[in-house]
């Protein structure tokens, strides 16, 4: 397996297409004649009962072809992933501002959007519950509060105790390509959907139930997405279902392309959280007891919120052994859009909370926060998580030591102290934070994948698997794995669009699992074919199949040396099948949600970062001056692709913690629904000095594909050091022993934290 | 007989008749011309996924500009040249640099980024100290974290580009008479008309004739009325290419209303570096290549980008009505929110910004959540004269603090004639509360706006004594 095709930095398979504008996204496919364009008529209240719906003006608007409501749905009026509590359109209860009520099909997108404003809906307006605080007051929950505990907390047994709270904001995905589906009716009631989704199988099943047809009648195809980040895991279904309904009802192809504002107004986001902590610790800062109470805004329905909030609990330990701990998690139901998966899936919020606890301890004791973190690391005899999973692969201590050395943390910390003592109003802060992120879907049955590989008689290979490409480089990694199996160049591997009629019943491309799952499945499919070819070649030569080699486009069996294409041609002549499925299911994992114990993860991915910031104490403005990232991806299948994930995740995480701010008004209307008001990082926000490295010593102890580690989500949380550094810069200005900064740390919040700290 | 639109694209002249004048270039490219490389990310000029290059004759020169196709109306292209990502045929060195350096992940923003970087090699992204991050400030990428893209930008690979043919063709299709378009709009049932006068005199006459027509210059605001609000515009007068003179004299700077931000930047920076930095932080390259100083003033935004600074500097505004002109202090133009001192038939023609004395102390500060391509929560402009430790003159103007860009008279009074000390500045900071009762909105709360404005006053003491604040640190590295 010494072939350079895995563990090699190979450019993204679509990169030449990206740069030339020839990569086809859903909206780039030429529109067939008669294509209908869609827009939802949406509620103008967050909480109401619909009294009447008058759509006459909509129907008679120019270029409108048809208008549909919930009554037109042949099957289930449901687009929810699990709990059946998200409607395609509502006809009675309105549970969030902008909820779809009717659907306009018109000859142009503009005509549909203009007509969609003409519905006359009468409401009985009810008081909405909008915030975590309001939901807490009303005890409005999507499910029972969950508690994960171990040991017995005792806050009097240690010499020190600190309490505090932290607000953590939400985040919009802001994938550059908005939600979109084209539905095309096929013969005999079939339906083909071209959809920008991370979860084609779920879209398929939901659309089938909604249309009251079989899943086999619906095919969902995804060539690529213009970004996903979790926002197209469950959220694509709404638009797919709308397009499918119109296509089924009218017999015409139908496209739903949400514009940016609608996309941001009606799709779920990262959950905002509050965290209240009560912690006892010794004089070295080692925690003896911790009670951490998390609360999140789930929005109006269940969506994936139970699993997301579970993952917040799973990561509230981060790299720290919590001997006596009570982790409490409230999942609040509000009349806002239903929050959903977003890179990290609750993990970032849980992890930020414990990092704040570490910082609070350090500030209280006047110690270097790094030493407090080190005092709490997992280690010998302190190696079981609050959910009873042994931590056997802990390397965060080594990664932290490496990044501390590489970044010259200790000297810079002293230099910063000097700077802060002299500058009248600029203050700096520096922080090191580690990451430990559990890999596997915590819903165990999702950890499976399939692939389909064909070899053709000319020696070319068609590769298909259940994962979806959203820019993360999944397809190139899987192609590298398959090329390596056959000893072929990548030019012989054809990457094909994900389709539910090729690989069925797939899980979402989510939880960072894309390569771990689909890489193995494709490997297994390719190996099945290779073993057949090897057996055939060995048979011709009287040798052993396992001695047949595939390398450099050549197959060697005994003395016979043939090109791969010639082997395929001969195999076909001799009636050897050159097509195979492949399957993989993650071993070893189990979890009992009733007791919150088990082994939900196959392994952990680790990383650490050091960030330095400067704030202006007059304005609250700040800059990230430098960041050093060191991240463990095991043995990387493609280092350049992985580096891209690490850097991109960090900057996205920085956006979440700094100036990406979701603002709702008191009626529940999202006011930040376009890039004019919702600011994601732009080029100049990238720290001027940003050192990004993969940890050279990294190797996965578990038998993952080529001993690599998942990389999509874990480095998102490397941005936590930015938030810690900002907190310390504020503390340097106020001299306070309490940390007062909340996230996102907009200039306004920095200024408020300065004020609170001085008070 | 209505005219046809003509523009140059990939070696040919495209001629279009009966096109909706408010159709955007992006929609035309994607849904009429099947050139789908140019993407829609926001339809409001904030993400840059639709970046294209537009070439325009300027005397005997051909100037290229990077622009957002999503808020560019088709008739604005008349007589110009267009380049999209398809024009590069995948062969530009910027494209191979982006591939080799892993500059794309999902790839959706990539064509726009390629066009910005190619544009820079053609002078289409401004010429004043354009660093790579500034070139790319208007191109959002959600995947990469920008590192590989900035690396590709630093290579700045230029390709030999001979635009002689473009130049010759544009000369041939140059139009001397007024462009007039007319289109029956099915959705609104209206006849939509578009006029592109060729001289300011023609504009003045046309404006008298059609006082209710919507004047469009860069369409960085009006474009959104169409793409976002679906507002119905019936008659449009496009003033692109008119009133584009900049006149610098020892007395001051006269800037025509049609001067784009990108072109005003250098001259304003010469007047005072803070003005240059303020303009650099208006939108991004694509917006500064479209939006004009006159448009910025005429639309009367309460934030106002340039007006607070211009007011603090004592700028005068010239309004024209037919053959007559009147000149008023810029601050008097803004009456109340949404209402300006503009008579029917009148239009903004130019501004005059008086030169500064060496003794003038000027600070312009824009506060926003994100440094680049964001709208101010507060924009503050301070113009002081300090002699012998006494403030002899104070002129302060703010944006984002009221329904219009506005002077802070009470605060000025709290400073004038007083010693320039931290104590006096603190008193002046309190006086701001008499001048302003700001709103709370997505960009900041009322209390934040008041408090931070006061802090800016207090910070002046340090800045006057040579300390550089965050904004300056950012501007000058």
Q: Is pLDDT above 70 for B200? A: yes
Using an 8 Å Cβ cutoff, are A222 and A195 in contact?
Answer: yes
- Distance between CA atoms of A599 and A73, rounded to whole angstroms? 42
Q: Report the C-alpha gap between A463 and A470 in whole angstroms.
A: 17
pLDDT at B471 over 80: no
Question: How many angstroms separate the CA atoms of A182 and A250, rounded?
Answer: 14
| Residues of A annotated as catalytic (active site), given as ranges | 713
> What's the pLDDT tens digit per position in A401-453?
999 999 999 999 999 999 999 999 999 999 999 999 999 999 999 999 999 99
A583, with CB counted inside 10 A (0-12, 13-18, 19+), is middle
Do residues B169 and B211 make contact, with C-beta atoms less than 8 angstroms apart? no
pLDDT of residue B160: 83
- Site of tokens 């917040």: A312
Burial environment of residue A590 by CB neighbours within 10 A (0 to 12, 13 to 18, 19 or more): exposed
* pLDDT above 60 (res B416): yes
How far A423 CA sits from the closest chain B CA (Å)? 9
Residue keyed to tokens 């940016």: A260
Mutation target vs B (from A9, A19, A654, A660; most B CBs, 10 A cutoff): A19
pLDDT of the residue at A2: 37
Shortest alpha-carbon distance between residue A688 and chain B (Å): 10
Residue A68 near residue A41, CB atoms below 8 Å: no
User: How far is the C-alpha of B414 from the C-alpha of B288, rounded, in Å?
Assistant: 36
Average pLDDT of chain B, as a whole number: 94
- Chain B hits for A425, CB-CB cut-off 8 Å, are 459, 462, 467, 469
Residue A5's pLDDT band, with cuts at 50, 70 and 90, is confident
Residue A3 has pLDDT above 60, yes or no: no
Statement: the pTM of the whole predicted model exceeds 0.80: yes
Burial of B443-452, coded b for 16+ CB within 10 Å and e otherwise, reads bbeeebbbbb
Task: Specify the DSSP element, H or E, that contains A573.
Answer: helix A564-573
Q: Do B42 and A260 touch (CB under 8 A)?
A: yes
CA proximity to A347, closest of A481, A442, A279: A442
Q: Among the listed ranges A29-43, A386-400, B129-143, which one has the minimum average pLDDT value?
A: B129-143
SS3 (DSSP) at B431: helix
Phi, psi of A6 (to 5 degrees): -100, 160
Q: What is the mean pLDDT of residues A84-106?
A: 98
Question: Which has the closest alpha carbon to A697: A630, A645, A609?
Answer: A630
* CB-based burial, B11-47: b 16+ in 10 Å, e otherwise: eeeeebeebbbbbbbbbbbbbebebbbbbbbbbbbbb
Interchain pair B102, A674: CB under 8 A: no
- Please tell me if residue B446 touches chain A, with a CB cutoff of 8 Å: no
User: CA nearest A327: which of A385, A245, A283?
Assistant: A385
Report residue A30's pLDDT band, with 50, 70 and 90 as the boundaries.
very high
Q: A323: which DSSP letter? A: S
- Distances from the Cα of A568 to the Cαs of A487, A533, A638, B232, in angstroms? 13, 8, 28, 64
Of the candidates A310, A312, A305, the one whose C-alpha atom is nearest the C-alpha of residue A80 is: A305
Would you state the pLDDT for residue B1?
55
Residue-wise pLDDT for B111-157, tens only, equals 999 999 999 999 999 765 578 999 999 999 999 999 999 999 998 78
CA distance A230 to chain B (A): 13
In sequence order, which ranges of A4-100 are alpha helices (DSSP H)?
Answer: 15-20, 56-59
Residues A291/A257, Cβ–Cβ less than 8 Å: no
Contact flag A647-B44 (C-beta cutoff 8 Å) = no
| Residue in B114, B187, B456 closest to A19 by CB | B114
Residues 6 or more apart whose Cβ sits within 8 Å of residue A411: none
Test A663 with B442 for CB contact under 8 angstroms: yes
B 181-200 near A (Cβ less than 8 A): 186-187, 189
Cross-chain CB nearest to A647 (options B147, B372, B443) = B147
In tens, the pLDDT along A252-311 reads 999 999 999 999 999 999 999 999 999 999 999 999 999 999 999 999 999 999 999 999
Quick: pLDDT tens for A558-612: 999 999 999 999 999 999 999 999 999 999 999 999 999 999 999 999 999 999 9
**Helices (H) then strands (E): counts for chain B:** 18, 20
- Whether the pLDDT of residue A1 is over 50: the answer is no
Count of CB atoms within 10 A of residue A184's CB? 19
B310: left (phi over 0), alpha (psi -120 to 50) or beta: alpha
- Percentage of residues of chain B with pLDDT beyond 90: 90
Residue B59: pLDDT band (50, 70, 90) is confident
What b-and-e string marks burial along A516-534, b requiring 16 or more CB atoms within 10 Å of the CB? bbbbbbbbbbbbbbbebbb
What is the share, in percent, of chain A residues with pLDDT greater than 90?
99
Chain B residues lying within 8 Å of A18, measured CB to CB: 98, 104, 107, 110-111
Query: Mind listing the pLDDT tens digit for each residue in A468-520?
Result: 999 999 999 999 999 999 999 999 999 999 999 999 999 999 999 999 999 99
pLDDT, one tens digit per residue, over A650-696 is: 999 999 999 999 999 999 999 999 999 999 999 999 999 999 999 99
pLDDT for the residue B476: 41
CB B143 within 8 A of CB A641: no
Which pLDDT value is given to residue B474?
52
Shortest distance between the Cα of B274 and any Cα of chain A, in A, equals 17
CA distances from B77 to A195, B82, B462 (A): 34, 8, 49
CA pseudo-torsion sign A632, A638, A644, A649 = negative
Count other C-beta atoms under 10 Å from residue A549's C-beta.
14
| Closest residue by Cα to residue B41 from A675, A361, A360 | A675
A127, A133, A136, A140 alpha-carbon torsion, rounded to 10°: 40
Determine the 3-state secondary structure of A252 from DSSP. coil
In whole angstroms, give the CA distance from residue A309 to residue A324: 21
DSSP string computed for B36-63: TTS--S-SSSSS-TTEEEEEEEETTEEE
Tens-digit pLDDT profile for residues B172-184 = 999 989 999 999 9
Tokens of B115: 């066009």
Is residue A582 packed enough to be buried (19+ CB in 10 Å), middle (13-18) or exposed (0-12)? buried
Average pLDDT rounded to a whole number, residues A166-177: 98
Backbone φ and ψ of B102, nearest 5°: 65, 45
Report how many Cβ contacts below 8 Å link chain A to chain B. Answer: 277
**Mean confidence (pLDDT) of chain A:** 97
Compute the residue count for chain B: 477
- For residue A641 the two structure tokens come to 């692709």
* Angle separating helix axes B147-155 and B93-100, nearest 10 degrees: 140
First-to-last alpha carbon distance for chain A, in angstroms, is 63
pLDDT of residue A43: 98
Q: Which of A174, A679, A686 sits opposite B147 (nearest CB)?
A: A686
CB contact under 8 A, A21 and B147: no
Nearest to A192 by CA among A179, A211, A175: A211
Q: How far is B148 from chain A (nearest CA, A)?
A: 8
How distant, in Å, are the alpha carbons of A271, A321, A355, B58 from that of A380?
Answer: 35, 10, 22, 74
Spatial contact of A392 and A384, defined as CB atoms under 8 Å apart: no
pLDDT tens sequence across B83-106: 999 999 999 999 999 999 999 999
Chain A residues near residue B367 by CB distance under 8 angstroms: 619, 621, 747
Provide φ and ψ at A448, rounded to 5°.
Answer: -150, 155
């Amino acid at each position: 397996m010494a072939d350079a095709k895995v563990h090699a930095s190979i450019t993204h398979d679509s990169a030449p297409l990206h740069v030339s504008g020839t990569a086809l996204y859903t909206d780039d496919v030429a529109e067939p004649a008669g294509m209908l364009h869609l827009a939802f008529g949406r509620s103008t209240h967050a909480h109401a009962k619909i009294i009447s719906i008058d759509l006459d003006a909509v129907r008679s608007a120019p270029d409108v072809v048809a208008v549909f409501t919930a009554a037109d749905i042949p099957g289930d009026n449901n687009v929810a992933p699990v709990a059946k509590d998200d409607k395609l359109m509502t006809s009675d209860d309105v549970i969030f501002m902008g909820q779809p009520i009717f659907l306009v099909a018109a000859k142009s997108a503009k005509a549909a959007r203009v007509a969609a404003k003409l519905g006359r809906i009468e409401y009985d307006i009810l008081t909405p519950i909008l915030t975590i605080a309001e939901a807490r007051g009303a005890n409005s929950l999507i499910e029972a509060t969950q508690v994960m505990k171990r040991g017995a907390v005792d806050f009097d047994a240690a010499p020190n105790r600190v309490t505090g709270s932290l607000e953590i904001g939400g985040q919009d995905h802001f994938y550059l390509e908005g939600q979109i589906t084209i539905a095309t009716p096929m013969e005999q009631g079939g339906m083909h959907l071209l959809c920008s989704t991370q979860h084609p199988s779920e879209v398929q099943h939901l659309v089938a139930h909604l249309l009251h047809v079989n899943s086999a009648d619906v095919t969902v195809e995804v060539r690529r997405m213009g970004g996903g980040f979790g926002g197209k895991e469950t959220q694509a279904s709404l638009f797919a279902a709308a397009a499918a309904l119109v296509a089924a009802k009218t017999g015409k192809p139908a496209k739903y392309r949400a514009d940016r504002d609608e996309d941001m107004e009606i799709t779920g986001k990262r959950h905002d959280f509050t965290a209240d902590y009560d912690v006892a610790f010794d004089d070295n800062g080692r925690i003896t007891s911790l009670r951490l109470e998390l609360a999140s805004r789930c929005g109006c329905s269940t969506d994936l919120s139970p699993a997301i909030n579970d993952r917040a609990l799973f990561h509230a330990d981060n790299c720290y052994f919590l001997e006596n701990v009570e982790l409490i998690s409230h999942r609040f139901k509000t009349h806002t859009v239903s929050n959903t998966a977003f890179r990290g899936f609750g993990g970032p919020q849980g992890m930020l909370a414990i990092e704040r606890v570490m910082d609070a301890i350090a500030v209280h004791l006047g110690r270097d926060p790094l030493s407090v973190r080190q005092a709490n690391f997992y280690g010998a005899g302190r190696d079981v998580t609050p959910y009873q999973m042994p931590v056997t692969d802990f390397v965060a201590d080594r990664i932290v030591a490496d990044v501390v050395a590489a970044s010259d943390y200790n000297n810079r910390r002293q230099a910063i102290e000097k700077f802060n003592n002299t500058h009248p109003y600029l203050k700096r802060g520096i922080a090191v934070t580690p990451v430990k992120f559990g890999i596997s879907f915590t819903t165990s049955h999702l950890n499976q994948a399939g692939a389909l590989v064909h070899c053709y008689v000319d020696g070319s290979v068609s590769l298909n698997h259940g994962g979806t490409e959203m820019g993360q480089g999944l397809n190139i990694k899987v192609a590298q794995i398959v090329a390596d199996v056959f000893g072929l160049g990548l030019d012989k591997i054809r990457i094909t669009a994900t389709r539910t009629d090729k690989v069925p019943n797939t899980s979402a491309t989510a939880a960072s699992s894309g390569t771990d799952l689909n890489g193995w499945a494709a490997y297994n499919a390719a190996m099945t074919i290779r073993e057949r070819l090897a057996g055939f070649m060995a048979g011709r030569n009287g040798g052993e199949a396992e001695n047949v080699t595939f390398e450099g486009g050549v197959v060697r069996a005994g003395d016979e040396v043939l090109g791969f294409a010639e082997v395929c041609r001969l195999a076909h002549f001799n009636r050897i099948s050159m097509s195979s499925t492949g399957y993989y299911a993650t071993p070893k994992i189990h979890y009992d949600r009733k007791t919150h114990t088990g082994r939900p993860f196959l392994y952990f991915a680790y990383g650490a970062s050091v960030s330095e910031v400067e704030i202006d104490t007059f304005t609250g403005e700040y800059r990230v001056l430098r960041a050093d990232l060191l991240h463990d991806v095991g043995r990387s299948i493609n280092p350049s692709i992985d580096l891209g994930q690490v850097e991109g995740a960090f900057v996205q995480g920085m956006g979440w913690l700094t100036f990406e701010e979701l603002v709702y008004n008191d009626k529940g209307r999202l006011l930040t629904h376009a890039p004019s008001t919702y600011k994601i990082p732009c080029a100049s926000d990238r720290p001027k000095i940003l050192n990004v490295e993969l940890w050279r010593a990294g190797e996965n102890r578990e038998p993952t594909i080529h001993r690599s580690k998942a990389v999509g989500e874990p480095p998102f949380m490397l941005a936590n050091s930015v938030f810690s550094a900002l907190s310390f810069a504020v503390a340097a200005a106020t001299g306070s022993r309490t940390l007062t900064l909340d996230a996102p740390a907009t200039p306004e919040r920095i200024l408020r934290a300065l004020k609170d700290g001085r008070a | 007989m209505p005219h046809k639109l003509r523009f140059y694209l990939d070696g040919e002249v495209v001629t279009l008749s009966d096109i909706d004048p408010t159709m955007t270039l992006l929609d035309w490219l994607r849904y009429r011309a099947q050139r789908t490389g140019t993407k829609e990310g926001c339809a409001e000029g904030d993400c840059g996924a639709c970046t294209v290059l537009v070439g325009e004759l300027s005397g005997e020169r051909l100037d290229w500009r990077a622009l957002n196709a999503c808020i560019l109306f088709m008739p604005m292209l008349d007589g110009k040249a267009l380049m999209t990502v398809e024009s590069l045929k995948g062969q530009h060195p910027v494209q191979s640099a982006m591939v080799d350096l892993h500059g794309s992940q999902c790839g959706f923003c990539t064509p726009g980024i390629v066009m910005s970087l190619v544009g820079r090699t053609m002078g289409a992204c401004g010429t004043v100290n354009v660093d790579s991050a500034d070139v790319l400030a208007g191109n959002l990428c959600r995947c990469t974290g920008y590192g590989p893209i900035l690396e590709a930008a630093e290579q700045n690979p230029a390709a030999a580009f001979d635009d002689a043919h473009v130049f010759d063709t544009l000369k041939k299709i140059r139009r001397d008479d007024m462009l007039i378009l007319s289109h029956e709009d099915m959705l609104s049932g209206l006849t939509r008309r578009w006029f592109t006068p060729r001289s300011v005199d023609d504009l003045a006459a046309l404006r008298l004739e059609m006082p209710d027509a919507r004047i469009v210059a860069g369409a960085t605001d009006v474009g959104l009325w169409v793409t976002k609000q679906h507002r119905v515009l019936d008659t449009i007068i496009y003033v692109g290419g008119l009133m584009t003179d900049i006149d610098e004299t020892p007395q001051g700077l006269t800037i025509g209303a049609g001067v784009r931000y990108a072109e005003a930047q250098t001259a304003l920076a010469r007047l005072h570096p803070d003005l240059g930095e303020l303009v650099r932080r208006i939108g991004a390259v694509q917006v500064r290549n479209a939006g004009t100083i006159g448009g910025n003033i005429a639309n009367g935004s309460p934030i106002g980008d340039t007006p607070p600074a211009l007011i603090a500097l004592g700028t005068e505004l010239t309004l024209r009505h037919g053959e007559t002109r009147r000149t008023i202090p810029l601050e008097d133009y803004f009456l109340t929110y949404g209402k300006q001192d503009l008579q029917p038939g009148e239009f903004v023609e130019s501004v005059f910004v008086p030169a500064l004395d060496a003794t003038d102390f000027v600070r312009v500060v824009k506060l926003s959540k994100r440094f680049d391509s964001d709208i101010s929560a507060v924009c503050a402009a301070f113009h002081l004269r300090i002699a012998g430790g006494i403030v002899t003159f104070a002129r302060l103007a703010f944006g984002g603090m009221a329904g219009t860009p506005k002077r802070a008279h009470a605060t000025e009074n709290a400073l004038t004639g007083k010693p320039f000390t931290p104590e006096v500045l603190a008193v002046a900071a309190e006086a701001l509360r008499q001048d302003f009762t700001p709103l709370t909105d997505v960009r900041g709360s009322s209390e934040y706006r008041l408090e931070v404005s006061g802090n800016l006053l207090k910070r002046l003491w340090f800045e006057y004594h040579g300390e550089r604040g965050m904004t300056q640190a950012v501007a000058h590295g």
